[in-house]
Structure 1
Amino acid sequence: ALEMTKRLLGQQHPQVATILNNLAGLYHNQGRYSEAEALYRQALEMRKRLVGEQHPSVVSSLNNLALLYQNQGRYSEAEPLYR
């Protein structure tokens, strides 16, 4: 899905960020935390750039990254993202 979306809509389309976020969620659930973190961060940066920092999808990305940190016991990193 990721490669098709990039090819059809372009690498800088918001749907690419959504798929990156979903793939990160899969990795998160599998315990592949470093891979999940990289994709969550990539999705977050894309969303900020493409739709603006006040968009609900950015909030979702911040929450997902915070949850990843929380699940790893990285509470001091999770808290500012939740706030």
Structure 2
Amino acid sequence: MVRSPRHLRRRAVRGPEHPYVLTTQFGIAESVAGQGRHSEAEQLYRDVHRAEERVLGPHHPHTLSARYGIASSLTEQGELSKAEDLLRDLLPIQQRVLGPNHASTQSTARLLRRLTDPRQESVARSDRSINS
């Protein structure tokens, strides 16, 4: 598991479920995903999501971002039906909590369209093969 020295200090001082610690963990998950290590990123997003759900609640914007991270990681791993299910659950919550014009809501809608539109499916496959 990837841990930064800053993250370890925050965790020791504030506790593993402090919002600052969770924000740092989310940033680590983003970095790991950016390196193409999507399986590891998925697990990090899941860990953050579980903790944020307990600490911040299921509809907090940070919790919703972690759910999107899980779906994005699943997509990159080719787990398209799992990602689609997660996005279908997530989108109406984001629309209600964040609003339909929020950037996160629009990102979720775009990714869901990419997974469900047959014309976009070949684009998604070629994107993954280019990034592999």
Q: Aligned equivalents of 2:25 and 2:85: distance in 1?
A: 22
Partner of 1:77: 82
Partner of 2:50: 45
Of stretches 37-46 and 5-14 in structure 1, the one that deviates more from structure 2 is: 5-14
**The structure with more radius of gyration:** 2
Partner of 1:59: 64
Q: Aligned equivalents of 2:52 and 2:85: distance in 1?
A: 18
Of stretches 41-50 and 19-28 in structure 1, the one that deviates more from structure 2 is: 19-28
Which consecutive unaligned segments of at least 5 residues does structure 1 have? none
* TM-score between both structures, scaled by the size of structure 2: 0.59
TM-superposition CA deviations, 1:3-61 (whole Å, max 9, x none): 01112211220121111111111111112122211111100000000011111111101
| Matching residue's letter, 1:8 | V
Which consecutive unaligned segments of at least 5 residues does structure 2 have? 1-5, 89-132
* TM-score between both structures, scaled by the size of structure 1: 0.90
Structure 1 residues 23-34: aligned runs within 5 Å:
23-34=28-39
Check the 8 A contact 1:14/1:46 in 2, yes or no. Answer: no
RMSD of the TM alignment (CA)?
1.2
How much identity, in percent, do the aligned residues show?
35
